[in-house]
Amino acid sequence: MTDLDAVVHGASELVVGPAESGRDVETVADGAVAVVDGTVAAVGPTDEVTREYPPANADRAVDAAGRAVLPGFVDPHTHGLFAGDRSDEFAAKLRGTSYQDILAEGGGILRTVRAVRAADEATLLSNLLGHLDTMLAHGTTTVEVKSGYGLDAETELRMLRVIDRADEAHPVDVVPTFMGAHAVPEGRDADDYVEEVVQEQLPAVESQGVAEFCDVFCEEGVFSVAQSRRVLEAGAKAGLTPKVHAEELAHIGGTQLAAEVGATSADHLLHATEADIDALVEAGVTPVLLPGTAFGLGAEYADAQAFLDAGAPVAVATDFNPNCHSHSVGFAMALSCVVMRMTPAEALVAGTRNAALALDRADGRGTLCEGAPGDLLVLDAPTHVHVPYQYGTNVVDTVLTDGRLVAE
Ligand code: NIG
Ligand code: FE
């Protein structure tokens, strides 16, 4: 027996997914979508869809008259599991203290590490579930969450266990990434710590069997290209797909490394060169831009136009973490438009289909094409343009995941 979970009908604009060019969206006016057994079964004009799938027969019928219906947002880069409060660093940064200065003084990531090591599993789980609630209310239906505030085997495993439990307990789909190489722990030598990640942490993560990706902060003063390569190659042997934090604060070659090791994504990319962009496109690595981080640091932004012109499937993410405390993909889309000069359609594709590519999801996620997961949003606005246009406002009204109503 199949189950008609939901029919959403009468949408002023229904966004099916990217158009052929990848730089526009395919839309249906007076559109509808039917979800059967958690999956999109039909999408198109309301009269056609509702003829085959009458709203009266659905577990949930939603009249979307005057409102836009979009695929759920996919957020492919967050450090959403943490403890403690770093709001005072926000104020310090506004007075001119740099992110690196804060880290060098034992603040930043290292401060969050101390707070996470001291937190028990129940506290960490409750923190993450709270953030997932906020993300869901802002339209995120799939989110990647990294470990990396443990920097020892025990705490990294605790973080990954919590990420897994949150995925089980919450309607947002949570994708787990191991990031033992997020920072060099206080008082440790970087090479020595890399060996700990490779010889102690990775085997433990592999036997616990919960992480899907392995990420590394390849950055001047953090992990060199050689150290990053060592971690990512060992991660791949342990079954984890590589991801790279590349060229955020300086240009050191993380993008070329991402291309070389066949990473799923390279992220940040503020200092990526034309040759880097070509290498990513050639290797099929998805660039993930994080304008919220640049916004908070008062830094320059990645050159989104150069990536788009090269034909790269530009993705955008929140980078939600204590240094960039924004849960909202919509806000990242607004910055993508206003600061990086992307069109609202490019920004929407970046935060949906391309973001799904950055997580290796080939199940149609980030679109409402037939066969895709029934993850969708009804806006309190008539078109997708209102997501970036109404910056600072949450225009997401209703959220369904797998065809079930989870937020309104
Ligand atoms: O992507 N760059 C490294 N990781 C995060 C920051 C994490 C933190 O400051 O706690 C980022 O911006
Ligand atoms: Fe990050």
Among 131, 249, 324, the mutation site with the greatest number of ligand 1 atoms within 8 A of its Cβ is 324
pLDDT exceeds 90 at position 402 = yes
- Which residue do the tokens 């395919």 mark? 26
Q: Which helix (H) or strand (E) holds 245?
A: strand 241-246
Tracing tokens 């990053």 back to the chain, one arrives at 228
Q: Strands across the sheet with 4-11, in order?
A: 39-45, 31-36, 4-11, 60-63
**Which of 113, 323, 324 for a ligand 1 pocket mutation test, highest count of atoms within 8 Å of Cβ?**
323
pLDDT, position 40: 98
- Give 146-205 pLDDT, tens digit per residue: 999 999 999 999 999 999 999 999 999 999 999 999 999 999 999 999 999 999 999 999
Given CATH 3.30.43.10, say whether it is the number of domain 74-357.
no
Q: What is the pTM of this model?
A: 0.98
The domain ranges of the chain are 4-71+368-407, 74-357
Q: Is 321 annotated as a binding residue?
A: yes
CA 375 to chain centre: 15
Query: Which atom of ligand 1 is found nearest the CA of 82?
Result: 10
**What pLDDT, on the 0 to 100 scale, is given for residue 390?**
98
Strand 265-268 relative to strand 213-217: parallel, antiparallel, unpaired? unpaired
4-71+368-407 and 74-357 in the same fold: no
Question: In the structure, which protein residues have their CB atom closer than 6 angstroms to any atom of ligand 1?
Answer: 79, 108-109, 112, 217, 245, 248, 293, 319, 321-324
Q: What is the rounded distance in angstroms from the CA atom of residue 387 to the CA atom of residue 389? A: 6
Confidence check: pLDDT of 314 > 90: yes
Q: Is 149 annotated as a binding residue?
A: yes
299 has a pLDDT exceeding 90: no
Enter the ipTM.
0.94
pLDDT of the residue at 298: 87
- pLDDT of amino acid 321: 98
Tokens 């937190």 label which residue? 119
pLDDT tens by residue, 97-123: 998 899 888 899 999 999 999 999 999
- Confirm or reject CATH 2.30.40.10 for domain 4-71+368-407, answering yes or no: yes
248 annotated among ligand-binding-site residues: yes
CA of 55 to the centre of ligand 2 (A): 42
Substitution candidate for ligand 1 out of 98, 159, 182 with most atoms within 8 A of CB:
182
Q: What is the pLDDT of residue 123?
A: 98
